A and B are shown apart, each in its own frame.
Chain A
Amino acid sequence: MDKLNIQEKKVWDILENIMDPEIPVLSILDLGIVRKVEVEETSQMPPELNIKVFITPTYTGCPAMDFIESNIRQVLTENGFNNIEVIHVLSPAWTTDWMSDAGKQKLKAYGIAPPKLTQQVCLATTFSDEDDVECPQCHSHNTQLISRFGSTPCKALYKCNHCHEPFDYFKCH
């Protein structure tokens, strides 16, 4: 591994510890928000490191993005990196397929039903079948959609007909 690769690995390790502000059990890597890290040396002497972090929003209007950006800057600065650029990219569009398996497990343990393994994308057809979602508390599949829009853009509201607990479902996207 050359010097730059080592630095890049270090940046990834740091990012692993930055949590999503709304779902604090998931890191921004678990969510698949960080798409790329580039580490370059400047031409001046002695050379300095330029860090570029490419992030993508989960939802277009996600208000957490500005917060995540400033978090990335702050934590990397604390770790001795100076020239940090955080670049927002829209394409390719984020999908729940990018959420890590570890992330899905952590979500479930936290009480939020993770997105289904097989991607079930929302269709415009009315009153169509809803995703069959397992209750994160009692694991019953006898659950019911309350609202397709939940406490954050990425979640829907469900209730369990078995244990009667309401829960959030991180919807497929």
Chain B
Amino acid sequence: MNKNSEINTNNKNTFLTDYCLHLADNSLILAQRNSAWCGHGPILEQDIAITNISLDILGQARNFYQYTAEILNSSKNNSSAAVTEVTEDSLAFLRDNREFKNCLLVEQENGDWGKTILRQFLFSNYQYLLYLQLQNSADEKLAAIATKAIKEVTYHLKWSSEWVIRLGDGTEESHQRITQSIHELWPFTEEIFINAKYENELTEDKIAVDVSVLKDAWYKKTAAIFAEATLTIPENVFAQKGGKHGAHTEKLGYILAEMQFMQRAYPGCIW
């Protein structure tokens, strides 16, 4: 291998691991957020539902982290320096705020049940469209993870869509509350459909999904569900972005502080 192509391979690998981390972080942070409902859901069945969803997306995160670790470890083996092995756990528990590449939407606070539901709907709507395409990724591992996960994401989308309708078209109070949540969360939706550098670099090789093309279908579905829910999509909202590059809202720090505490305080602890 000559030097130039070696550099290219290294770059490609970095883009791929960044992309995997982005997908993993999206799922992990939302799973962590949702799991806070365990034991606090409005009724038992829905408590079980939201924590089931948490478990599904945590599983996706694990798959993406394991794959990232595999790539990172194999590229390290090529260099002479002995470095500590990367694992799914070190990626989840030992990276800092700026290294997380999740979109801002998933780190937003749970709020009331309506806000959690709405966040899940906005996200599942995107994830469903994403995995539909990612199933055809030129990267076999990503394709396999997506093919497996899309069956589960279909349930998440159906369930959260129904809840948005139920709350929007429910009582005056539920309507007013979810409307408030729409105004709080809408600024974080635009970012999802702006390709980050790692996405741009990988779409040509058909490894990553070009997220900009998903926006129309996402908007259409959102509009249809909102119409049924008698809710309105806000207009002229200033879009917040930066999460996909590591610039997060202040919320993420609090999530990490809680999630990573044990491994930071007692490195390597298992139970």
Please report A residues at the B interface, Cβ cutoff 8 Å: 57, 59-63, 90-94, 121-127, 146-151, 153, 157, 173
Contacts A122-B158, A126-B165: A59 and B48 contacting too (C-beta < 8 A)? no
Q: Which of B57, B141, B155 has the most CB of A within 10 A?
A: B155
Contacts A60-B149, A91-B144, A93-B147: A149 and B158 contacting too (C-beta < 8 A)? no
Give Cα A131–Cα B224 distance, bound, in whole angstroms: 24
Contacting residues, chain B, for A125 (C-beta < 8 A): 158
Give the distance to chain A from B226, nearest Cβ to Cβ, in Å. 12
Contacting residues, chain B, for A57 (C-beta < 8 A): 59, 148
Question: How many B residues, CB 8 Å from partner?
Answer: 35
Give Cα A57–Cα B55 distance, bound, in whole angstroms: 13
Give the distance to chain A from B151, nearest Cβ to Cβ, in Å. 6
- The answer, yes or no, to whether B88 is at the interface (CB within 8 Å) is no
Give the distance to chain A from B34, nearest Cβ to Cβ, in Å. 12
Are A147's CB and B228's CB within 8 A? no
Contacting residues, chain A, for B158 (C-beta < 8 A): 122-126, 148
Contacts A147-B48, A150-B48: A122 and B151 contacting too (C-beta < 8 A)? yes
Are A61's CB and B55's CB within 8 A? yes
Enumerate B133-157 residues with CB–CB distance to A below 8 Å: 140-141, 143-145, 147-149, 151-152, 154-155, 157
Give the distance to chain A from B218, nearest Cβ to Cβ, in Å. 13
Give the distance to chain B from A1, nearest Cβ to Cβ, in Å. 33
Are B148's CB and A90's CB within 8 A? yes
Contacting residues, chain B, for A92 (C-beta < 8 A): 147
Are B128's CB and A124's CB within 8 A? yes
Contacts A93-B151, A148-B158: A62 and B59 contacting too (C-beta < 8 A)? yes
